[in-house]
Structure 1
Amino acid sequence: MKGLLLGLLAFGLINVPTQLCEGFMPENDMQVSVGDKKANTMTEKRFNQIIDKVVKVYAPVIKKRGGKLVLKRKWKNKTVNASAQRILFWYVVNMYGGLARHEAVTDDAFALVVCHEVGHHIGGAPKISSSKWASNEGQADYFGTLKCFRRTFRDEDNVRIMANINIPDYVTEKCKAEFPEAGELALCQRAALAGKSLAKLLGGGRGGNFNTPDGRVVDTTNDRHPAAQCRLDTYFQGALCDKDIFDELSSKDPIPGSCARVRGRSVGVRPLCWFKPKS
């Protein structure tokens, strides 16, 4: 029955309510076409392979929730963004080739955006105040490195992958303090650098710094897109949280499955530049 409905929807033969979440980044006029001279080296094959890795992990997770993960692979689309939609039981993620081809976006950064969009669907609280289903932007970022990126790439040879990568000493120091085992350390570094790549995109070429976190403190939780430095802080803190990747996040309570100040944690916590903990 679900397959029939999906087919009818695809051909526009039925109309159903569609709930669209904001894009990964604010609306913009950036475009990167296939073959653009400013594009990175991303290929359609790698574009699909990266998406496949995340789908392999999270399609079964969403199936257990009674949903179906639907990845719309818009390789030829020039848009530099990504988005999530909830259509009945379909957990839709729209991934655009323009984003994947942007010169600031590495393969790992693209994977982290896929994770971010999946995070809107299953990333837990805090959620967008006007939505019953979507985790807010900061939480989708946090979920990306806290759970999804680590879960997707945990079985790869991360030590080898990171061996010849220039990693800031500050990142290594902080990751090693939380993850002394070599493989977990390398995965923490890898997630952090994916976040750095996205911060460069989000900051218009200025990627922020790991050791200069955003000092702003919000009065209420910000559901929308935080500033680039704040988002880098979120990616880094998610990577540093040592909670088990299989510890479930709650749809109502931001504490379970995460590193929380209320539990005496100071590392791996959601940054105060977008998150207001309950007093």
Structure 2
Amino acid sequence: MSSQLGLTFAPYEVLEPLPKDAVYFFPRSEAEPETPDDLYDRNQALPAELSAYLIRHYAQVYPDITFIPEWADGTVNAAAYRSNPKGDAASLLNPMGQEVRLFGGLLRHKKLGIEGLSLIISHEVGHFKVGKGKNKGWTSCEGEADYWAASVSQRKVWWGKQSLENINIGTEQFNTVYTPLWRLDNQKSVQVSCEMHPAPSCRKETFLAGLTGKPIPQCAKPLD
């Protein structure tokens, strides 16, 4: 299926597995494939056009990162990773193969609009841009990426009042999708290690802190 914006989405194509040190937006134990009722069909044009627009837009803002849709996979998640950690790739802009993969369950989710998807993509970009080396030797902590997404990236990707509105709406969309998936303790005051994901209430608080210019919440700061 080809979008009008120049990106091709293969409805049944499955890509290569991600490297072991990839970092995910949702904990992998929580981000199971959704039921068909929660997702738009693979062949529907609307989510494909929306996804194509976002990917092209982010690629222009962050040319040192490659954004890859895995349209066929129904998992509700996104991941950041390096396809060439040795840094000898042919691309001068992206020698380490910095990539963000967006799974079909995320891109086709009926409760995620452009605002929620954008906030999630900004989080994954943040793994390459802030606090490098704290998590798995090359990337930022999860709470840091959340805060950077709202306080820095969204203001760069969008403009003026639109960026503030998108963060606010995107945070609510994130909360609607994520909270039902969460099976762990939901106490926002509990700090976690660098590579663990804060509870949904803490992540919502972190996004809103980035929106309003407040410091990063204590619950989003890693223990280690």
| Residue matched to 1:56 | 60
1:273 aligns with 2:209: no
Report if aligned partners of 2:144, 2:220 keep a CA contact under 8 Å in 1.
Answer: no
1:232 alignment partner AA: K
SS in 2 for 1:43: helix
User: For residues 151 and 188 of structure 1, what CA distance do their matches in structure 2 show?
Assistant: 11
1:54 alignment partner AA: Y
1:216 aligns with 2:162: no
User: For residues 235 and 126 of structure 1, what CA distance do their matches in structure 2 show?
Assistant: 22
Say which of 150, 165, 171 aligns to 1:189: 165
Deviation of 1:126 after TM superposition, in Å, equals 8.0
Q: 5+ residue gaps in structure 2? A: 1-14, 86-95
- Counterparts of 1:34-183 in structure 2 under 5 Å? 36-39=36-39, 42-59=46-63, 62=64, 69-86=65-82, 87-88=84-85, 89-124=96-131, 127-128=134-135, 131-154=136-159, 183=160
Deviation of 1:187 after TM superposition, in Å, equals 2.8
| Residue matched to 1:249 | none
Report if aligned partners of 1:222, 1:274 keep a CA contact under 8 Å in 2.
Answer: no
Further displaced range: 135-144 or 269-278: 269-278
Deviation of 1:132 after TM superposition, in Å, equals 2.3
Q: Percent identity?
A: 24
How many pairs were matched up? 190
> Which runs of at least 4 in structure 1 moved beyond 4 Å after TM superposition?
none
CA spacing shift, 1:136–1:122, aligned 2, 3 Å: same
SS in 1 for 2:217: coil
Q: 5+ residue gaps in structure 1? A: 1-10, 13-17, 63-68, 155-182, 207-213, 242-267
User: For residues 111 and 32 of structure 2, what CA distance do their matches in structure 1 show?
Assistant: 12
Deviation of 1:39 after TM superposition, in Å, equals 2.4
- Counterparts of 1:194-209 in structure 2 under 5 Å? 194-204=170-180
User: For residues 50 and 58 of structure 2, what CA distance do their matches in structure 1 show?
Assistant: 13
CA spacing shift, 1:225–1:217, aligned 2, 3 Å: closer
Report which of the two structures shows the higher radius of gyration computed on alpha carbons.
Answer: 1
